[in-house]
Amino acid sequence: MKGQPRDGGAGKVGMDIAPDVLLDGLKRYRRIAKQDLLATSLSAHPQAAHIHAEARRELYAELAAVAQTHPSDAVIAHALEQYQALPFVSGCAPLEHPRIQGREQALENFFVLVGLEPKVRREARSKRRRLEPRGQA
């Protein structure tokens, strides 16, 4: 059960998710990130894999902390703000920004967890700035 849709009103989120369901989902994602963290030595690029997994784990912990004191729609709004604040790194080398890529993946996983409409995620994504390649102003 992902949650109950509700009339979004001013908040575009539109989902009420029980706090325990939200926290359980974040705990599961955090465990997966920890497993990935423990397996980084097996990766072709262990340092990048470690940074990526740690970034995901940290973000899940941050969202869980917000979820302990705020309703689900506030947690989702916070996640959308974090997503919008991330720069695009898709034009960069795959291993150049593992922390940003890890946070992006964690947020996108979270949006799946809460059943966020793809349109809302696309709107947030469209507001992100492009990261300038290194060496450019």
pLDDT tens-digit map of 19-76 = 899 999 999 999 999 999 999 999 899 999 999 999 999 999 999 999 999 999 999 9
DSSP state of 133: P
Position 99 scores a pLDDT of 95
Position 96 scores a pLDDT of 87
Task: Name which of 107, 41, 118, 39 is nearest 76 in CA terms.
Answer: 107
Residues 73-112: tens digit of each pLDDT: 999 999 999 999 999 887 777 688 999 999 999 999 999 9
Position 50 scores a pLDDT of 95
Backbone angles phi, psi at 94, to 5 degrees: -55, -30
Both structure tokens of 80: 């959308």
The Cα-based distances of 131 to 75, 87, 110, 124, 128 in angstroms read 26, 5, 23, 16, 9
Q: What is the pTM of this model?
A: 0.83
| Domain ranges (residues) in the chain | 18-126
The Cα-based distances of 50 to 39, 40, 54, 91, 114 in angstroms read 9, 6, 6, 21, 26
